[in-house]
Chains A and B, each alone.
Chain A
Amino acid sequence: MASAILRVRGLVMDFGGVRAVDNCSLNVDEGSITGLIGPNGAGKTTLFNLVAGFHKPTAGRVTFRDERIDGLPSYLIFRKGIVRTFQIPRELKRMSVLENLMLVPSDQIGESMWRAVAARWLVKRQERAIEAQAREVLEFTGLSEVADLPAEGLSGGQKKLLELARTLMAKPRMVLLDEPGAGVNPTLLRRLVDGIRRAREELGITFLIIEHDMGLVMRLCDHVIVMSEGSVLTQGAPAAVQQDDRVVRAYLGD
């Protein structure tokens, strides 16, 4: 049995009077592709925001590789190896696809103002390495042809692939994908599924995926967690979860 890379314990998030996440506890196994499903408003995206440091939890804790990360700023959580995507792609519109990716690596020499001016040859050398890495990721995700286009010109599906590409650029240990399949045509979806599988097999990345498309969840995930009203309703193998009456009731309402 694989060990848990991410543990969430008793997590609570209040927005004013609304409790979006309510005493939520779950584990994600290292190297797994875990699905996170549940009706709208179940708190899935809020859970992502809490894990990735975009919100501070009201209570509870999150540990990643046996280290507490709840309440840390997002850029530090990113450096520990957790990268998230957005339900609606947030590409950098007036920057090229290549630039969208070259932005991502941490600790770039040229991100320091002083070295950007004073040590330009060092920066240039690193830029070449980062560009090579970005082109590799573009190849991996099948976006090579659009590398030099401004990102606003991509189709909806390509933007989803760009979100995935951005996470791979970070060399993450764990990726949180928020509805990667929504609005993607079957051809691109196949490429996306393939990309996620290969990223797990070849790079050992753990995935936690919010998805409403049950077909995709069945094909892709080896474990499924069902959330409802801010906490975990049930979990298990995809087929078992699909048969669970409570899950159907949660989706359709009692």
Chain B
Amino acid sequence: MLEFLTGFAILVGVYSVFTLGLNVHWGYTGLFNIGVAGFFALGAYTASLLVIRPPQSDQVDDYLFAGDLANRLDALPVIGALDLWFVVALAGAALVAAMVALVIGTITIRLRGDYLAIATLGIAESVRLVFLNERWLSNGSKGLYTIPRVFDGIVSPQDYDRVYLVVVLVVFALMFAVVRALVHSPWGRVLRAIREDEVTAEASGKHVFRFKLQAFVLGAVIMGIGGALYAFDLRAISPSAFTPLLGTFIIWAMLVVGGSGRLYSPVVGALIVWGIWSGSQFLPDPLGSPHVRYFSVGALVVLVLMYAPDGITPEVLRIRDRWLARWRPRRVAANE
């Protein structure tokens, strides 16, 4: 049970990262990106390719390219000893996501609403098909599966999940802190203005294109890092993980359920939606089957949009405040 919960918490953390990225795009800037899966896949494959070990003899035509960063960096003093190849892999994933977002963004970000959505959807599918078809690079539908453990050698395999949970939470917390500082800054104010009315932002003298492009790249970098975190959790990836349904829809569901444009919504949304998604496997058969899963997440999105269009986060915060209010006077009394 504890193992299940640890694994569950890791994926909630990973999906919180994706949703944080999508919140930057849609929640704060109004960029209608329905190609989250594209940056997810780019991050996962980049990080994996950087670190996978070369194939063993019986898999010889599987991978032509293997970064094997873990062994290559082993000789370096600090990096080798502390297993910091992992950080290099995350940085690589972020960099590739940033470069792709910069190129795509420069071309598509001027498009409004629906057109950006169509463009991002198409690009995400293209990315997935590249990894599916370029077998020399990504081993086609079999995917990559010799991804090493983080802190291998320092931590024993049976403790891996618990340690990795801490890693995921630390990475998420760092990005969360940056996003928090940014959305509360004048930069974030410009993004919100663009979300509310692009023309007004322009009439207020803002170089709208520049801010949209920055937000697009930032969100993509976060998603790319999320992809890398995902790869090091499962330690085997294949193109089937990056379909529009698994790589984009579910993340949108998390954002909508949590509440778009709210700081804490990625965590709340990821927890609830992933809870339903992975919890339903314990239900007896007709209820636990995949189509019921999809349906229940879809139904939840519709219900939230109907009855709590701002998402569940405000409700959660209200309950928290009520509990704090109930708790505080007692603590004061106890202190006296």
Asked whether A91 lies within 8 Å of B205 as measured between CB atoms, the reply is no
Asked whether A92 lies within 8 Å of B196 as measured between CB atoms, the reply is yes
Query: Is B218 engaged at the interface, CB distance under 8 Å to the other chain?
Result: yes
Q: Which residues of chain A are near B207, meaning CB under 8 Å?
A: 73, 75
Known: A95-B193, A117-B181. A123 touches B186 (CB 8 A): yes
Q: Within residues 152 to 204 of chain B, which ones have a CB less than 8 A from any CB in chain A?
A: 178, 181-182, 185-190, 192-193, 196-197, 199-204
Asked whether A52 lies within 8 Å of B203 as measured between CB atoms, the reply is yes
Asked whether B203 lies within 8 Å of A110 as measured between CB atoms, the reply is no
Query: Is B214 engaged at the interface, CB distance under 8 Å to the other chain?
Result: yes
Interface size on B, residues (CB 8 A): 25
Asked whether B205 lies within 8 Å of A104 as measured between CB atoms, the reply is yes
Q: Which residues of chain A are near B185, meaning CB under 8 Å?
A: 110, 116-117, 120, 123
Q: Which of the 9-residue segments A22-30, A76-84, A206-214 touches chain B?
A: A76-84
Query: Is A106 engaged at the interface, CB distance under 8 Å to the other chain?
Result: yes
Query: Is B206 engaged at the interface, CB distance under 8 Å to the other chain?
Result: yes
Query: Is A136 engaged at the interface, CB distance under 8 Å to the other chain?
Result: no
Asked whether A92 lies within 8 Å of B197 as measured between CB atoms, the reply is yes
**Minimal beta-carbon separation of A207 from chain B (angstroms):** 16
Q: Which residues of chain B are near A54, meaning CB under 8 Å?
A: 199, 202
Known: A103-B193, A104-B205, A117-B178. A111 touches B187 (CB 8 A): yes
Asked whether A90 lies within 8 Å of B182 as measured between CB atoms, the reply is no
Q: Which residues of chain A are near B208, meaning CB under 8 Å?
A: 75
Query: Is A229 engaged at the interface, CB distance under 8 Å to the other chain?
Result: no
The secondary structure that dominates the B interface is helix
Q: Which residues of chain B are near A78, meaning CB under 8 Å?
A: 203-205
Q: Which residues of chain A are near B188, meaning CB under 8 Å?
A: 116
Q: Which residues of chain A are near B201, meaning CB under 8 Å?
A: 103
Q: Which residues of chain B are near A83, meaning CB under 8 Å?
A: 203, 205
Q: Within residues 24 to 67 of chain A, which ones have a CB less than 8 A from any CB in chain B?
A: 52, 54
Asked whether A110 lies within 8 Å of B205 as measured between CB atoms, the reply is no
Chain B 85-122 near chain A by CB (<8 Å), digits 1 or 0: 00000000000000000000000000000000000000
Q: Within residues 197 to 236 of chain B, which ones have a CB less than 8 A from any CB in chain A?
A: 197, 199-208, 214, 218
- Give A93 to B189 CA distance when docked, in angstroms: 13
Asked whether A79 lies within 8 Å of B205 as measured between CB atoms, the reply is yes
- Give A127 to B208 CA distance when docked, in angstroms: 21
Which of B187, B196, B199, B200 is close to A113, meaning CB atoms less than 8 Å apart?
B187
Asked whether B186 lies within 8 Å of A104 as measured between CB atoms, the reply is no
Q: Which residues of chain B are near A19, meaning CB under 8 Å?
A: none
Q: Which residue of B lies closest to A78 (CB)?
A: B205
Q: Which residues of chain B are near A109, meaning CB under 8 Å?
A: 186
Query: Is A234 engaged at the interface, CB distance under 8 Å to the other chain?
Result: no
Query: Is A86 engaged at the interface, CB distance under 8 Å to the other chain?
Result: yes
**Minimal beta-carbon separation of A91 from chain B (angstroms):** 7
Given A84-B203, A116-B188, 19 additional A-B pairs, CB 8 A: A54-B199, A75-B207, A78-B203, A79-B205, A83-B203, A85-B203, A90-B200, A92-B192, A92-B193, A93-B197, A103-B190, A103-B193, A103-B201, A110-B186, A111-B190, A112-B187, A117-B178, A117-B181, A123-B186
* B interface with A by C-beta (< 8 Å): 178, 181-182, 185-190, 192-193, 196-197, 199-208, 214, 218
